[in-house]
Chain A
Amino acid sequence: MDIAALKTKKNITTGVIMLAILILLAFVPLYAPGYPVILLSSILMYVILTVGWVMFSGPTGYISLAPAAFFGFGIYTTAIIGEAIPFAVVVLIGGAASFCLAMLVGALTLRLRGIYFAVFTFGLLMLIANSVNYYEIHFTGTRGRFVMVKGYDLIYFYMLGIFVLLMIAATVIKHSRYGLALISIGLEEEAAEHCGINVVMVKVMVFAISAFFMGAAGSVMATKWTYIDSGIAFYMLYSFMPVLMALFGGMGQLFGPVIGSAIFTYLEEVLITRFPEVYMLIFGIILVIAILYLPDGLVGLIQKLWKRFSERKHANT
């Protein structure tokens, strides 16, 4: 069998496994209603934020601390127009609002590199959070807003749908010529530009596409919290967590951030319920260990072990 055939065979196997997992996930509300659905929804939320973050920041090396801004934009979209129009449209608008914000921010700031870009995106988050707070207090006369509850199953299905669409988008971009262009931008931006790549356009578009999914996720999750204000919607941890989760899972492959954020969220949940006093401490230790000893994240470790295992298998035969 030649390499191409092996590759297609591998692709088909991966596809079948993923489809099976997806079908399994789709029926979770039927055979495990209640808490598992809620837990899976928060896992999906972090998975979406993390994969969205990795989609842009992974290849380019531009460390964005803006996810919370895009997520919060989605949340506020639902809080403002959530009851007037069908929910699916609200989610689309939430995503579109974040998409537009990312286009604007990207066009202004993506010429900044390294630490400057990270600090700017974080400053942007603070600016938006405080502006919204100021507006609410001075113009609408309230601090926060109430959001209509939509039910846990509905939240779950929407999050699952957004997750699937995001994975498709991320995979398509990663394997397209634009994915390669993003990597080249991360490695040698100047050379990329002189190869004919419209560097600004590629960066801004992918940044905005990733923001779309974060915004859509925010629109859905808003209905879980019933009450939101600028502090909840633009909580800065939504910016930091994706970065940590991506490091934890490993950024080389797309399933790295998926696995990383899923385990991370689950771990957080378990620690918070079992060891509420020391959970942050344990969490911190795990993170430090992960960064020190797993330079390529969990997935990198798994791949390394797998390689060793398969080499031994070959040696035996």
Chain B
Amino acid sequence: MPILEGQGVTKYFGGLAAVFNVDFHVDEGEVLGLIGPNGAGKTTLFNLISAALTPKSGEIRFKGRNITGLAPYKICRMGVARTFQTVKVFADLPVISNVVLGSYFGKSRGRSSAEALGEAAEWLQFVGLSAAKATPAKDLTLAHQKRLEVARALATQPELLMLDEMMAGLTATEVAEAMELVAKIRKQGITVIMIEHVMKAIMQVCDRIMVLHHGAKLAEGTPKEIATSKEVIKVYLGEKADAGS
């Protein structure tokens, strides 16, 4: 059974269909890549799943339960965590406090402060930020802030983690490290959906890829299928020019 399913999910911004009638599913334990040109509706779809936005129509089910229209904090407590395209760390708070908020209030809530702090420290180690524990989040590099967001999301004990452009703006080395991190997360048994523009990363890390274009689902398949799909190439590179005529 898929851990997350959507049926006919639709969202308009004014007259523009940002996401239109999209069906999708994510299987337990897989890494699903979500790609598409700018403005294709990828982040909007994330916002719909995490309930930052409410769909106009359609239904989203998590582990068989309809979660459409629930409050974001409830969705988080059910086990769906996310990061943000433009990082939203708690800038003035120390790194460890950023993460411990996840342990305090996520699916993991109800633990003692000591337990929550211990867990937060473990997640910091997991993403490789142990050394920066006491640093205010705003003083981290962009790559580290993105890692911090991942740690904070993981601290809520998700079963499904949504990563929104974790690798955008990172150097080649940082991208490689981020890819390792995704692999490590999957090893923990956490299902991942990731939006990414870094094709190398998407092709290597994902089990399956879904392509959005103008708010609609254009293609879906294994990385190999997507890489060779004519439609996808057309969207990304444009139509072959008819030089002869």
Please say whether chains A and B are actual partners in one complex. Answer: yes
Give the B-binding residues of A (Cβ under 8 A): 177, 180-181, 183-184, 187-188, 190-199
* 24 CB-based A-B contacts, threshold 8 Å: A177-B104, A177-B116, A180-B97, A184-B90, A184-B93, A187-B92, A188-B89, A188-B90, A188-B91, A190-B52, A191-B84, A191-B89, A191-B90, A191-B152, A193-B52, A194-B73, A194-B82, A195-B76, A195-B152, A196-B105, A196-B107, A197-B73, A198-B73, A198-B105
In the complex with contacts A191-B89, A194-B52, A184-B101 CB distance below 8 A: yes
Residues of the A chain whose Cβ atoms lie less than 8 Å from the Cβ of B152: 191, 195
Nearest 8 interchain pairs by C-beta: A196-B105, A191-B88, A196-B76, A196-B106, A177-B104, A187-B90, A193-B72, A188-B88
Question: What's the least CB distance linking B91 to chain A, in Å?
Answer: 6
Residues of the B chain whose Cβ atoms lie less than 8 Å from the Cβ of A188: 88-91
Whether the pair B100, A196 counts as a contact (CB closer than 8 A) is no
Q: A187-B93, A192-B101 are in contact. List 17 more A-B contacts (CB 8 A).
A: A177-B105, A180-B93, A180-B97, A180-B100, A181-B104, A188-B90, A190-B84, A191-B88, A191-B89, A193-B76, A195-B102, A195-B106, A195-B152, A196-B77, A196-B106, A196-B109, A197-B101
A194 CA to B90 CA in the complex, in Å? 12
Question: Which B residues from 103 to 134 make CB contacts under 8 A with A?
Answer: 104-107, 109, 113, 116
Residues of the B chain whose Cβ atoms lie less than 8 Å from the Cβ of A197: 73, 101, 105
Residues of the B chain whose Cβ atoms lie less than 8 Å from the Cβ of A190: 52, 84, 88
A177 CA to B72 CA in the complex, in Å? 19
Interface presence of B81 (CB below 8 A): yes
Which of A180, A183, A194 meets B76, CB within 8 Å? A194
Residue of A nearest to B157 (CB): A196
Question: Which B residues from 140 to 197 make CB contacts under 8 A with A?
Answer: 152, 156
The contact size tier of chain B is: 20 to 34
Whether the pair A195, B101 counts as a contact (CB closer than 8 A) is yes
A196 CA to B71 CA in the complex, in Å? 10
In the complex with contacts A194-B52, A197-B73, A183-B90 CB distance below 8 A: yes
Residues of the B chain whose Cβ atoms lie less than 8 Å from the Cβ of A198: 71, 73, 105
Which of A180, A183, A184, A196 meets B73, CB within 8 Å? A196
A187 CA to B97 CA in the complex, in Å? 13
Interface presence of B10 (CB below 8 A): no
Residue of B nearest to A202 (CB): B105
Which of B52, B105, B113 meets A195, CB within 8 Å? B105
Interface presence of B68 (CB below 8 A): no
Residues of the A chain whose Cβ atoms lie less than 8 Å from the Cβ of B93: 180, 183-184, 187
Whether the pair B101, A199 counts as a contact (CB closer than 8 A) is no
Residues of the A chain whose Cβ atoms lie less than 8 Å from the Cβ of B73: 193-199
A192 CA to B73 CA in the complex, in Å? 8
Interface presence of B44 (CB below 8 A): no
Residues of the A chain whose Cβ atoms lie less than 8 Å from the Cβ of B109: 196
Interface presence of B50 (CB below 8 A): yes
Residue of A nearest to B156 (CB): A196
A187 CA to B73 CA in the complex, in Å? 17
